[in-house]
A and B are shown apart, each in its own frame.
Chain A
């Protein structure tokens, strides 16, 4: 049980996040916010890399600072930008990190083989990482995060650079893992979490804006999202009048999905998380 208790972080005089309070049990938490909102800052505090300027982070009631190594042992972390040794193979790299995490060497080899299999890199496990593509590297990063079966898995934009097939594979791994552990996944890509997140945490203006489920968030837009087919000639005026969520060019007209506070004379549509994100950070 991870508790974030009114945490504020300043970089110098500039606040990055303010008065964040969260309570995180088992399950998958999607940390959803646009660029520069403070996702990475919050995550770095959760992983003990940064100290909160004020406030506290507690694990089972004890400040994580006091727990030290016994807390860090529990976390698996994929940084937004993660480092690796160009000249080493994924197996060597994971062995190195396993040592840092104090994992017993007994059964380590099998464990490494299995996580490498999980992220679909079995064929490349003997290749030096400098020959890897961006997506392959990202998968090594995911492998190192889940390698130690962490109680708390913290992933900062884990799907960056993954192709659709790998995204699905990743989602399945994470979704299965989140049953009996805390998974925190930061992203600004809605589809990464829409189908798997138990809760979505949104940060706006440096503060927690929402902490609820996907259906709850979508429901907030009930009756406010519409679809319409707008002739090309009227599109400009339409765009000024309504907040367009998406538009697709069709013959002679635009198929538009848009947001409107008050009831509008158009076909109502089923709101989704992406709509909520766009409307929130309009």
Chain B
């Protein structure tokens, strides 16, 4: 145990921890999608906000019975927006005094060439109402979001489908393979619909890969630095002829693997706290299977986050063992670095393929190869985890039988 702690102490040196913390901080500032919360994937903050408001009102899911209440919620937004419209002199002069006329004008002028002076004036006002930072544009964005994500989808039968509305989706369903089609139709006809929107999910999707990249680089750097330094210092002859003997290698492998796991856990914990502080907490109970994201398993946002975090931790653990293997054979820092770069790229790529699509029934290709969407991630993840572990065991076993120095 003491030996274990001694080896661990070499990895958890203050200087290494500080450097890693600085590195991770810089990386997070530069690459994390979370920095752009709440407008990732949508371009404005109100899309996410209107969903959060709905969740507070209706709970994590919307049910068929709540449709009138949703219409009411929508109606209230329209009323507020019309009040804003009536504040405009330009609209008043041109007889635009309700939401319907606003939309008509919008359709007419927004993409029209060769506007007259009068039309130009209306156009400018429209743009101001739609995109300037003012209460009117906030309301307009929210209205748009409700229409595009919910009301239109209900109309075409992708949400709360009935025998009449599902007809519009029939063509689409017929193009899928039978399993996927059945899955999708069941979803369209369901009485409940998740209120999860794009931002919370796409932030977690993008960042889980990012977190794997940062923590794997960090783990590789720390482990390789320790192992190669030990080797270059020539600490091994004494260590290997001590009572512990070649067990020291096994202990080091365990330390490296655990260091990887721990690095993953810390990174995920910090990230999770940051995610919650941005307001992702409202979405935790929402099912992941929603109006734009088809999933073949039932998971809510909380479980989805935890699974992604577990993947990060598993991969950083594998990174710990992989870097141990490289560190055992690299005789200097340069060769260690040279081997690490492709291995890291492969590892992060594997993580991306393994988790980005693991639960999704997404593209036509995936529909027609329904099972391959499940098999692919496992085909990547399992060999990596098993392979790395077996490799470490073999190396340790071989250590007992060969010249060591």
Q: Which residues of A contact B (CB under 8 A)?
A: 44, 47-51, 68-69, 72-73, 75, 77, 79, 81-86, 96-97, 99-102, 105, 144
Contact = CB atoms under 8 A, between A and B. Distances in A.
11 contacts: A48-B245, A49-B237, A49-B404, A68-B245, A69-B247, A79-B238, A82-B238, A86-B233, A97-B239, A100-B3, A102-B242
Given A49-B405, A51-B403, A99-B6, A79 B237 contact: yes
B242 A79 contact: no
Given A83-B236, A144-B238, A100 B248 contact: yes
Chain B interface size range: 20 to 34
Nearest to A95: B6
A100 to B, nearest CB: 4
A137 B368 CA distance: 69
B395 to A, nearest CB: 17
Given A50-B405, A99-B6, A69 B243 contact: yes
Contacts of A144: 238
A81 B234 contact: yes
Nearest to B401: A51
Given A72-B243, A79-B237, A101-B244, 7 more contacts: A49-B404, A50-B405, A82-B234, A82-B237, A83-B236, A85-B233, A101-B242
A96 B3 CA distance: 8
Contact of B241 (A75, A85, A86): A75
B243 A83 contact: no
Nearest to B15: A87
Contacts of B401: 51
Given A48-B240, A99-B2, A100-B242, A85 B235 contact: yes
Contacts of B233: 83-86
Ranked nearest first, the 7 interchain pairs of A and B with the lowest CB-CB distance are A83-B234, A83-B235, A47-B241, A83-B233, A100-B242, A79-B237, A73-B243
Interface centre among B235, B239, B248 (most CB of A within 10 A): B235
A100 B243 contact: yes
Given A49-B404, A50-B403, A100-B3, A83 B242 contact: no
Contacts of B404: 49-50
A84 B405 CA distance: 17
B244 A79 contact: no
Contacts of B3: 99-100
Interface of B: 2-3, 6, 230, 233-245, 247-248, 401-405
Contact of A96 (B6, B234, B243, B405): B6
Nearest to A78: B238
A269 to B, nearest CB: 42
A68 B240 CA distance: 11
Nearest to B232: A83
Contact of A69 (B234, B244, B402): B244
A83 B235 CA distance: 4
Nearest to B2: A99
Given A44-B405, A48-B245, A102-B243, A97 B2 contact: no
B238 A83 contact: yes
Interface centre among B239, B244, B248, B402 (most CB of A within 10 A): B244
A140 to B, nearest CB: 11
Contacts of A49: 237, 240-241, 403-405
B402 A51 contact: yes
Contact of A100 (B230, B244, B403): B244
B235 A102 contact: no
A84 B239 CA distance: 11
Contacts of B243: 69, 72-73, 100-102
A91 to B, nearest CB: 14
A280 to B, nearest CB: 29
A79 B403 contact: no
A72 B239 CA distance: 10
Contacts of B244: 69, 100-102
Contacts of B2: 99, 105
A47 B242 CA distance: 9
B244 to A, nearest CB: 5
Nearest to A68: B245
Contacts of A101: 242-244
Nearest to B1: A99
A72 B238 contact: no
Interface centre among B6, B245, B247, B248 (most CB of A within 10 A): B245
A48 B386 CA distance: 32
B245 A72 contact: yes
A48 B238 contact: no
A86 B401 CA distance: 31
Interface centre among A79, A81, A86, A100 (most CB of B within 10 A): A100
Contacts of A73: 242-243
Contacts of B240: 48-49
A99 B3 CA distance: 6
Contacts of A44: 237, 405
A51 B405 CA distance: 10
B262 to A, nearest CB: 22
Interface centre among B6, B243, B403 (most CB of A within 10 A): B243
Contacts of B230: 83
A48 B399 CA distance: 12
